[in-house]
Chain A
Amino acid sequence: MAQLIPIKVTVNDTVYERQVEPRLLLSDFIRHELGLFGTHVGCEHGMCGACTILFDGEPVRSCLIFAVQANGHQIKTVESLGSPDHMHPLQEAFHEKHGLQCGFCTPGILMTVVPFLEEHPHPTEDEIREAIDGNICRCTGYEKIIESVQAASEKMSSGK
């Protein structure tokens, strides 16, 4: 019998208590156990960045962490950013600037960029390119993504 380990994890400010097998990836826990399908799973070996979430405020790959390791930790997924009626300024900017095409990579990019903009409120284009170098957009829509991040930084720093 596989081990089952009780965990208590806070996801988007809600506390969840579950029993998990050690081999369950945090990405699969978020999607299949909690039903939060905003976190996407692309490559499952840390290359694509689609599954990026915030783990105690830090952007990490949820496919390279086991759910059991999240015990006692704070997780934020893309669902924490906003709703269709009240979008996060970053989401608004992606909407306005066409920062997504198929949208598969978008959650990972948003969760990478949110903490990046906190540390770099006025990023240069080069800084933005580097910040998202761990996220692959297979539609290759990088130019629009960069414009969106720039627009978001302007929105957020002007407080609109």
Chain B
Amino acid sequence: MKPAQFDYYAPASVEEALDKLAELGYEGKVLAGGQSLIAAMNFRMARPGSLVDLNNIPELSYIKPTADGGLAIGTMTRVYAVEHSPEVAKRFPLLPEVAHYIGHAQIRRRGSFGGAIAHADPSGQLPGIAKVMNAKCLIRSKGKEDRWVDAADLIIGPFMTVIEYEDLLTEVVLPPNPPRTGSSYQQVARQNGGYALAACASVLTLDDKNKCQDARLILMGVGEMPILSDKVKEILIGQEPTEEAFKEVGEAVQSEIDPSSDLNGTSEYRRDLIRVLVPRSLALSLERAKKGS
């Protein structure tokens, strides 16, 4: 199908974009990479009155180291650029590992890092990954002070965030991980590039006695939004990271997820996948943490 009619604006700077968004209010919608939005518009599931296109704002595309050893990523940085950035691979190997599974190469060339997070698709990888990486999101709007929102507080439901119509997510900051941190991503999908039936990512940090200093786990595709597990912390922090403990986490998170059934897989099947994927991801993260990566 074809999109419904809309008005189009292509600001050349962030300030111009904020002016336009403030002026349009409820009628306006940000067009970032467009790889989800334009598809939704073609189906007429989305019918925005006006689009404010960010593709002519070069100042929104960058990957910059922060003073504390983390990274700041501009909202329009293409997923493909994040996937292939040596800076990202060195500091956050989880990101290229995950990016590889997002859509197809042609989608990643155009799709934007910030746009994917702001879109908050419960089946998308990046909103969950931002949560498990403790990302901080910079939200700007005209006439208001800049706001920093934790990724964990950004998403409030399926396709819903605290970003208002006049707001723009301009930057995502990834804080550095402590030494002896390992991370990994696991998913099961019907085909390459397809939505994952279930997926998870874990980040483990070891202390000098090889016990878990920190453990973070995000569960994706098994609820209305990516679920940051509390159980993983209860079970692992301060404890020996053993295979048995990882299996226990896979069982314990069953109370935290609420997968639905569709023609690709039943709710029970998705629960089983999580039971298998969580210990796998934790074991891989542990191996990587031991290597100090």
> Which A residues lie at the B interface, using CB under 8 A?
2-3, 5, 21-23, 25, 28, 44-46, 49, 52, 55, 58-61, 63-66, 68-69, 71, 112, 130-131, 133-134
Contacts and interface: CB of A to CB of B under 8 A. Distances in A.
B110 interface: yes
B8 A3 contact: yes
B39 A21 contact: no
Contact of A23 (B4, B10, B34): B4
B159 interface: no
Contacts of B34: 64-66, 69
Given A25-B42, A69-B53, A61 B8 contact: no
17 contacts: A5-B8, A21-B5, A22-B6, A22-B51, A28-B2, A44-B42, A45-B42, A46-B39, A59-B105, A61-B106, A66-B38, A69-B55, A112-B106, A133-B104, A133-B193, A134-B103, A134-B193
A124 to B, nearest CB: 16
A3 B49 CA distance: 12
Contact of A45 (B8, B43, B192): B43
A49 B53 CA distance: 23
Contacts of A2: 5
Interface string B1-38: 11111111010000000000000000000000011001
B191 interface: yes
Contact of B7 (A22, A44, A58, A66): A22
B8 A64 contact: no
A137 B204 CA distance: 41
Interface in B90-129: 103-107, 109-110
A134 B106 contact: yes
Contacts, number: 85
A81 to B, nearest CB: 17
A60 B79 CA distance: 13
Contact of A58 (B1, B35, B53, B109): B109
A64 B55 CA distance: 13
Interface in B201-217: none
Given A46-B38, A63-B38, A64-B110, 18 more contacts: A22-B7, A23-B5, A44-B1, A44-B39, A45-B43, A46-B103, A52-B106, A55-B110, A61-B110, A64-B34, A64-B107, A65-B34, A65-B38, A66-B38, A69-B34, A112-B105, A131-B105, A134-B105
Contacts of A59: 105-106, 109
B107 to A, nearest CB: 6
B8 A22 contact: yes
Given A60-B109, A60-B110, A65-B110, A134 B51 contact: no
A61 B107 contact: yes
Contacts of B51: 22
A23 B49 CA distance: 11
Contact of A64 (B2, B4, B39): B39
B42 A49 contact: no
A49 B4 CA distance: 23
Nearest to B51: A22
A65 B104 CA distance: 16
Contacts of A25: 2-3, 38, 42
Given A22-B51, A64-B35, A134-B193, A46 B6 contact: no
B177 to A, nearest CB: 29
A64 B35 CA distance: 6
A99 to B, nearest CB: 19
Give the most central of A21, A23, A25, A133: most B CB within 10 Å: A23
Interface string B42-85: 11000000010101000000000000000000000000100000
Contacts of B8: 3, 5, 22, 66, 68
A55 B110 CA distance: 10
Given A44-B42, A46-B35, A60-B106, A133 B6 contact: no
A63 B42 contact: yes
A25 B109 CA distance: 18
A121 to B, nearest CB: 17
Contacts of A133: 104, 191-193
Contacts of B193: 133-134
